Amino acid sequence: MTGPKNLESRTKHIRATWASRCNKILYMSSVETEFPTVGLNVTEGRDQLYWKTIRAFQYIYQHHRNDYDWVLKADDDTFVVIENLHYTLSKQDPEKPVYFGRRFRPFVHQGYMSGGAGYVLSKEAVRRFIEGFDMAKCTHFSIIEDMALGKCMETMGVEPGDSRDVKGRQTFHPYPPDKYLIKKPPRKRPWFLLYDYYKPREGPECCSDHTVSFHYIYNVQMYMLEYLTYNLRPYGYQYRYNPDSAETESESNTTTPVSA
Partner 1 sequence: MLSEGSSFMKGMALGGIFCLLLSLLGSFTPGMQSSPEDQHHHHHHIKAPTNDELQSLSEPQMLELSQKVRVYCVIMVQPKVLVYWATAKDTWGKHCDQAVFYSSESAKALEAVDLNEQDEWAKLHKALKHAYDNSGDLRWFFVARPTTFAIIENLKYLVLAKDPNEPFYIGHTMKSGELEYVEYESGIVLSYEALRRLVNVFKDGEKCPERGRSLWKLSEEKQLAMCLKYTGVFAENGEDTQGKGLFNSKSVGSLIEDGMSKNSLDVVEGCCSDLAITFSGMSPNQMQVMMFGVYRLRPYGHNFHDSLIFLPPEGSDND
Q: What angle do CA 76, 77, 78 make, to 5 degrees?
A: 95
**91 in contact with partner 1 (CB under 8 A):** no
Tell me whether residue 97 or residue 174 sits nearer to partner 1 (CB atom): 174
Residues linked to residue 119 through DSSP beta bridges, in sequence order:
73
The one among 11, 84, 163, 170 contacting partner 1 by CB under 8 A:
84
Name every residue whose Cβ is closer than 8 Å to that of residue 240 and which is 6 or more positions away in sequence: none
- DSSP annotation of 23 reads S
**Collapsed DSSP state (helix, strand, coil) of residue 207:** strand
Shortest gap between Cβ of 70 and partner 1 (angstroms)? 16
Tell me whether residue 191 or residue 235 sits nearer to partner 1 (CB atom): 235
Binding mask 197-216 for partner 1 (x = CB under 8 A): ------xxx-x-xxx-----
**191 in contact with partner 1 (CB under 8 A):** no
Determine phi and psi for 120, rounding to 5 degrees.
Answer: -130, 125
The one among 8, 16, 64, 131 contacting partner 1 by CB under 8 A:
16
Shortest gap between Cβ of 249 and partner 1 (angstroms)? 15
CB distance 212 to 163 below 8 Å: yes
The one among 231, 250, 256, 259 contacting partner 1 by CB under 8 A:
231
10 Å CB burial of residue 201 (0-12, 13-18, 19+) is: middle
152 membership: H or E segment, kind and range: helix 145-155
Binding mask 132-171 for partner 1 (x = CB under 8 A): ----------------------------------------
Name every residue whose Cβ is closer than 8 Å to that of residue 251 and which is 6 or more positions away in sequence: 166, 167
CB distance 117 to 101 below 8 Å: yes
**219 in contact with partner 1 (CB under 8 A):** yes
The one among 241, 249, 254, 255 contacting partner 1 by CB under 8 A:
241
Using CA atoms, how far apart are residues 46 and 145, in angstroms rounded to an integer?
Answer: 9
Shortest gap between Cβ of 255 and partner 1 (angstroms)? 22
Q: List residues near partner 1 by CB under 8 A.
A: 16-17, 81-84, 86-87, 177-178, 181-183, 203-205, 207, 209-211, 219-221, 223-241, 243
